[in-house]
């Protein structure tokens, strides 16, 4: 019944039907996008196909022919049905609210709801060191560190949480078999223990976990640490031996050992990989320098020097006149050898003196009396690399 308020006229009575259509329903995804960004690119985007969600969103009572499901990145767009996500198959989700609109194709009634998405950037830890060195220096005898190495877990992705990320360091003797180091949970780790087995190369990695909702864990690439060190003498040796004694081509062979890879230098000559020096000058003494090369030119372990390296020879004359120059005669180059016997004779074969290369030598006297200027003969019994040898020659006494 409709009444005109001005005229009072009333229309004829009648009826009409009001139809209230039900709103569509939305079943939110059972597994919304909540993931660490572990795809190829760590950019906060993660492939999340939306088309496979439609059946679950509609449920059993709503068909995909009668209802349309659309997705939006913004609530206002969803409400106005504009700027819908066009490529549902190749959709890359990110941290925000994904809006879902379900619309009845006949009545055009619609419903909206939101599904929170979280795509968390993952840490990208890499192990770095000061000056990018990767070698330690350990004493070969004691295994005490001469120079340790501090590993740092650097990250090119800022921490995603309000608190610092957490860490766990791993160590192993194979790059594919690493074991967690008990208590190594800081951003840095110091390699200050010798390797076992002795001198072995070790490998390290660090797992960094973001202090955020998902606590995304990522392990760094493996970092190689080489154990090196200053060269040392083999036990019971002087660090070298001489062959071809009393000859023009005397050969000095270095016998030092250690954790490193070494080069060798004779006096001020060039460094060489071989520990063998030929045609060593009879004029000495010489200095051998053993250079560790593991750390390069600037960061290798300390050099080791062998002083007073001497070829094996004898003075062809001496002048025992008390001036302090060439007053004694002796073999040089065997002062650190054992079981060396040197005998001095006159021209008639009379034994005048037995001297030791460890002593001062012969002063030109016999029973306290000076012997005249003349030539004298000697024999020397010695051992060269396990072989017994004897050498005979003569020298002059000058007065």
Rounded distance between C-alpha atoms, residue 45 and residue 74, angstroms = 17
Query: 249 — phi, psi (to 5°)?
Result: -95, 80
Give the rounded percent of residues in the chain with a pLDDT score beyond 70: 98
Closest C-alpha to 24, from 59, 76, 72:
59
Rounded distance between C-alpha atoms, residue 218 and residue 167, angstroms = 10
Which residues, other chains included, contact 76 with Cβ-Cβ below 8 Å and sequence gap of 6+?
none
pLDDT in tens, 247-283: 989 999 999 999 999 999 999 999 999 999 999 998 8
pLDDT of residue 299: 86
pLDDT of residue 386: 83
Q: What is the 3-state secondary structure (H, E, C) of the chain?
A: CCECCCCCCECCCCCCCCCCCCCCCCCCCCCCCEEECCCCCCCCCEECCCHHHHHHHHCCCCCCCCEEEEEECCHHHHHHCCCCCCCCCCCEECCEEEEEEEEECCCCCEEEEEEEEEEECCCCEEEECHHHCCEEEECCCCCCEEECEEEEEEECCCCCCCCCCEEEEEEEEECCEEEECCCCCCCEEEECCCCCCCCCCEEEEEEEECCCCCCCEEECCCEEEEEECCCECCCCCCCEEEECCCCCCCEEEECCECCCCEEEEECCCCCECCCEECCCCCCCCEEEEEEECCCHHHHCCCCEEEEEECCCECCCEECCCCCCCCCCECCECCCCCCCCEEEEECCCCCEEEEECCCCCCECCEECCEECCCEEEEEEEEEEECCEEEEEEEEEEECC
Is residue 159's pLDDT more than 70? no
pLDDT in tens, 89-138: 999 999 999 999 999 999 999 999 999 999 998 999 999 999 999 999 99
CATH code linked to domain 125-225: 2.60.40
Phi/psi class of residue 44: alpha, beta or left (left: φ > 0; alpha: ψ in -120 to 50)?
left
| Contact of 24 with 111, CB cutoff 8 Å | yes
Give the rounded percent of residues in the chain with a pLDDT score beyond 90: 76
Length of the chain: 399
pLDDT of residue 296: 79
pTM to 2 decimals?
0.75
pLDDT of residue 173: 96
Residue range 317-397 in CATH 1.25.40: no
pLDDT in tens, 201-220: 999 999 999 888 888 899 99
| Contact of 166 with 211, CB cutoff 8 Å | yes
CA atoms within 13 A on the CB side of 79: 3
Q: What is the mean pLDDT of residues 16-28?
A: 89
């Amino acid at each position: 019944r409709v009444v005109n308020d001005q005229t009072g006229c009333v229309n004829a009575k009648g009826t009409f039907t009001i139809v209230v259509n039900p709103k569509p329903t939305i079943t939110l995804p059972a597994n919304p996008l909540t993931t660490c960004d572990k795809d190829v690119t760590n950019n906060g985007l993660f492939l999340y196909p939306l088309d496979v969600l439609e059946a679950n969103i509609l449920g059993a009572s709503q068909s995909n022919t009668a209802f349309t499901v659309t997705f939006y990145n913004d609530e206002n767009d969803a409400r106005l049905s504009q700027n819908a996500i066009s490529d549902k198959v190749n959709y890359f989700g990110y941290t925000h609210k994904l809006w879902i609109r379900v619309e009845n194709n006949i009545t055009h009634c619609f419903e909206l709801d939101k599904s929170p998405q979280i795509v968390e950037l993952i840490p990208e830890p890499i192990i770095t060191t000061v000056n990018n060195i990767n070698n330690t220096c350990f004493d070969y005898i004691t295994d005490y560190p001469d120079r340790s190495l501090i590993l740092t877990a650097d990250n090119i992705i800022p921490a995603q949480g309000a608190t610092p990320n957490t860490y766990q360091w791993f160590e192993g003797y194979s790059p594919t078999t690493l074991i967690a180091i008990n208590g190594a949970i800081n951003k840095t780790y110091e390699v200050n223990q010798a390797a076992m087995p002795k001198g072995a190369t070790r490998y390290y990695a660090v797992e960094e976990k973001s202090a955020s909702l998902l606590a995304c864990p990522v392990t760094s690439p493996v970092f190689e640490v080489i154990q090196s060190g200053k060269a040392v003498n083999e036990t019971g040796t002087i660090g070298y031996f001489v062959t071809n004694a009393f000859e023009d081509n005397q050969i000095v062979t270095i016998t030092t050992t250690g954790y490193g890879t070494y080069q060798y230098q004779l006096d001020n000559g060039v460094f060489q990989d071989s520990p063998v020096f030929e045609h060593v000058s009879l004029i000495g003494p010489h200095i051998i320098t053993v250079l560790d090369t593991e750390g390069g030119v600037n960061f290798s372990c300390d050099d080791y020097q062998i002083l007073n390296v001497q070829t094996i020879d004898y003075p062809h004359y001496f002048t025992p006149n008390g001036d302090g120059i060439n007053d004694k005669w002796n073999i040089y180059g065997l002062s650190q050898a054992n079981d060396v016997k040197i005998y001095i004779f006159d021209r008639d074969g009379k034994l005048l003196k037995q001297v030791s290369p460890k002593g001062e030598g012969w002063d030109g006297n016999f029973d306290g009396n000076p012997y005249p200027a003349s030539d004298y003969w000697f024999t020397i019994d010695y051992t060269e690399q396990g072989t017994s040898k004897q050498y005979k020659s003569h020298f002059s006494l000058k007065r």
